[in-house]
Amino acid sequence: MDYSQFLAMRQELGVLIVFLLVFLYDTFMPKKALNATAGFTAILFLLFTVASFVWGNVGTVDAFSGMYSTSPVCSMIKNILNVGVLIVLIQSVRWTNGELMTVRRGEFYELLLVTLFGMYLMISARHFLLFVIGLESASLPLAAMVAMDKNRYESHEAAIKYILTAVFSSAIFMMGLSFVYGLAGSLYFNDIALQLGTQADTLLVVALAFVISGVGFKLSLVPFHLWTADVYQGAPTSVTSYLSVISKGAAAFAFLVILVQVFGQFYSAAWEWMLYALIIVTITVGNLFAIRQKNMKRFLAFSSISQAGYIMLGIVGCNEMGLAAMMYYILVYIFSNLAAFGVIGAIENQTGKVDMTDYNGLSRSNPWLAFAMMLAMFSLAGIPPFAGFFSKFFIFTSAINQGSTAIYILVLIALINTIASLYYYLLVVKAMYISPEEPQIPAFRSACSERLGMWICVAGVIALGIVSFFYNSIIEAAAGSNLFAFIG
């Protein structure tokens, strides 16, 4: 065996190294030094992120006889996730240093890094065995993270819900895989694509439906979304933000890879319409339910469901442009959503309040928090000049590139849905800026780490759109990808 193949996995190895160092630090350092675990992890991860930007890209390499593959796009999406994880780490410092978490904070970081490793495998796997390992190691530790708030009842409930749905959906996914294996006799993505031919028989459609539902769970697409709101509400805010952006971003990319690489030739025969239906239902249901939410975390849960629908629009185009638009959307979504969760987390840590009515008059007591929240809401709603506008515009443009009349109708439905989403995002702005009531939340100064996290997010929300460098470099990476060879 050629051990140099491991060098192609350098980003995965990097995460493992960070994980091991954090584990060793947590296990062997004296008790006093443990207070610095959060900072240690954040700095270590920052170094890893920078290194991954500089040395992570090894070009297009298929390692381990095609089981694992990396390309500029894969390394780009991993870097994007890294940036998100870094922000989550910064934002969670205050929470992990709290009284409740003192004995568990090492575990939080270790589990987080393990799930990130799993997501990396999901992105780069070109064999279903490796993919399932990635999927499981990205899902199961998350249940433990959701249950981190040991003393809160909702946290347990959320964890149970999460683990049961995760296991159930994995089972469905593997059922689908067994069908695929029966049809193609291989679990390598490329082999399956070659073996299946171009004739879509019924068994294949069933298998496809099972696979889509399995991954749809991770993405919380409707109708596989039922766990989302409860888990988001029950989980500690840092875990929720991790779940809502990083986990979703990785799953979206992996979903695209599976659909176009394994089932690419059945695009118009089998899954085009499934995808359309999923997108429409996801966006619409997510929006309609978000309108009635009073708890900010539940509210963002439904908002993130509908955002997942928009992310899926990047797949329907089935070309490099759609891939780039999707990755850009994920990047922007990471920053916008983390800005919102940063504010929610800061307020929750300080006062324990998470209801929308608590935010009444926030602009008068905490103008900067309100400002960050407003930018996040505008960006999520797709208002220029914030980044969300650009990402929405590009994802619609890339979807319409496909050119059929159906796609125009699909995009029109998605666009009309943005109006509904604007309504509920504006409700938050209204509570903070327009509601005449006395502020419910007293003026306070948030912790350094929280402010740093928020500044990064706000800067990202403003700069990611106007500065075209980010989009241009993503599309440059996507242009060389060989993912779409089988589209027919």
Partner 1 sequence: MFSNILIYFVIIPLLMLAGFALCRNDKQIRAVAVTGSIALMALSAWLLVDYLALRKAGETAEMLYTGSWEWFGPLNICLAVGVDGVSIAMLILSSIIVFAGSFASWKIDNARHFFMWLLLLSTGVFGFFITVDLFTMFMFYEVALIPMYLLIGQWGTGRKEYSAMKLTLMLMGGSAFLMLSLIGIYYHSAPEGGQLTWNILEISQNASISKDWQYFLFPMCFVGFGVLGAMFPFHTWSPDGHACAPTAVSMLHAGVLMKLGGYGCFRVAMYLMPEAANDLAWIFLILTGVSVVYGAFSACVQTDLKYINAYSSVSHCGMVLFAILMINTTALTGAIMQMLSHGLMTALFFALIGMIYGRTHTRDIRLMGGLMKIMPFLGVGYVIAGMASLGLPGLSGFVAEMTIFVGSFEHADMFHRTFTVIACSSIVITAVYILRVVGKLLFGPVQDEHHLQLTDATWWERLSVITLIVSVAAIGCFPNFFESLIKFTFSPEIFRAIGL
Sole residue written with tokens 């490329």: 190
| End-to-end CA, the chain | 36
Give start and end residues of each alpha helix (H) in 352-386: 362-365, 367-381
Return the number of the residue (281 or 422) whose C-beta is nearest partner 1.
422
Sign of the four-CA dihedral 218, 219, 224, 228: positive
Of residues 431-460, those binding partner 1 (CB under 8 A): 433-434
Binding to partner 1 by residue 193, rule CB under 8 A? Answer: no
State how far the Cα of 142 lies from the Cα of 326, in Å rounded to an integer.
24
Sole residue written with tokens 């443009």: 397
Return the number of the residue (365 or 397) whose C-beta is nearest partner 1.
397
The interface region with partner 1, picked from 25-33, 215-223, 250-258, 394-402 by CB under 8 A, is 394-402
Minimum CB–partner distance for residue 425 and partner 1 (Å): 11
**Tokens standing for 437?**
């009531």
- Identify the residue among 378, 379, 387, 454 touching partner 1 (CB under 8 A): 378
Binding to partner 1 by residue 406, rule CB under 8 A? Answer: no
- Identify the residue among 182, 403, 480, 488 touching partner 1 (CB under 8 A): 403
Enumerate helices (H) and strands (E) in the chain, giving the number of each: 21, 2
Return the number of the residue (273 or 408) whose C-beta is nearest partner 1.
408
How far CA 53 is from CA of 63, 85, 168, 262, in Å, comes to: 21, 14, 36, 29
Sequence-distant (6+) residues with CB within 8 A of 370 are 359, 362, 363, 432, 433
Q: Are 230 and 161 in contact (CB under 8 A)?
A: yes
- Mapped onto helix, strand or coil, the DSSP state of residue 200 is coil
**Tokens standing for 99?**
């009284």
Minimum CB–partner distance for residue 57 and partner 1 (Å): 19
Minimum CB–partner distance for residue 279 and partner 1 (Å): 15
- Identify the residue among 21, 205, 281, 400 touching partner 1 (CB under 8 A): 400
Return the number of the residue (25 or 484) whose C-beta is nearest partner 1.
484
The interface region with partner 1, picked from 97-105, 164-172, 284-292, 377-385 by CB under 8 A, is 377-385
Binding to partner 1 by residue 397, rule CB under 8 A? Answer: yes
Binding to partner 1 by residue 404, rule CB under 8 A? Answer: no
102 burial level (CB within 10 Å; 0-12, 13-18, 19+): middle
Minimum CB–partner distance for residue 405 and partner 1 (Å): 9
State how far the Cα of 153 lies from the Cα of 150, in Å rounded to an integer.
8
Count of chain residues binding partner 1 (CB under 8 A): 34
Site pattern 330..369 for partner 1 (x: CB under 8 A): ----------------------------------------
Binding to partner 1 by residue 35, rule CB under 8 A? Answer: no
Of residues 206-265, those binding partner 1 (CB under 8 A): none
Sole residue written with tokens 């960050």: 372
Binding to partner 1 by residue 480, rule CB under 8 A? Answer: no
Return the number of the residue (320 or 358) whose C-beta is nearest partner 1.
320
Dihedral over alpha carbons 449, 445, 99, 248 (to 10 degrees):
-50
Find, among 100, 487, 421, 170, the residue nearest to 289 by Cα: 421
State how far the Cα of 203 lies from the Cα of 266, in Å rounded to an integer.
13
Binding to partner 1 by residue 273, rule CB under 8 A? Answer: no
Binding to partner 1 by residue 383, rule CB under 8 A? Answer: yes
Report the largest interatomic distance among the alpha carbons of the chain, rounded to a whole angstrom.
70
DSSP state, residue 103: T
Return the number of the residue (125 or 373) whose C-beta is nearest partner 1.
373
Of residues 407-436, those binding partner 1 (CB under 8 A): 408, 411-412, 415-416, 418-419, 422-423, 426, 429-430, 433-434
- Identify the residue among 181, 389, 444, 455 touching partner 1 (CB under 8 A): 389
Amino acid at 37: T
State how far the Cα of 108 lies from the Cα of 95, in Å rounded to an integer.
11
412 burial level (CB within 10 Å; 0-12, 13-18, 19+): exposed
274 burial level (CB within 10 Å; 0-12, 13-18, 19+): middle
Binding to partner 1 by residue 190, rule CB under 8 A? Answer: no
Binding to partner 1 by residue 394, rule CB under 8 A? Answer: yes
Binding to partner 1 by residue 66, rule CB under 8 A? Answer: no
The interface region with partner 1, picked from 141-149, 191-199, 388-396, 450-458 by CB under 8 A, is 388-396
State how far the Cα of 20 lies from the Cα of 26, in Å rounded to an integer.
10
Minimum CB–partner distance for residue 168 and partner 1 (Å): 37
Return the number of the residue (36 or 409) whose C-beta is nearest partner 1.
409
Binding site for partner 1 (CB under 8 A): 321, 324, 378, 383-385, 389, 393-394, 396-397, 400-401, 403, 408, 411-412, 415-416, 418-419, 422-423, 426, 429-430, 433-434, 468, 471-472, 475-476, 479
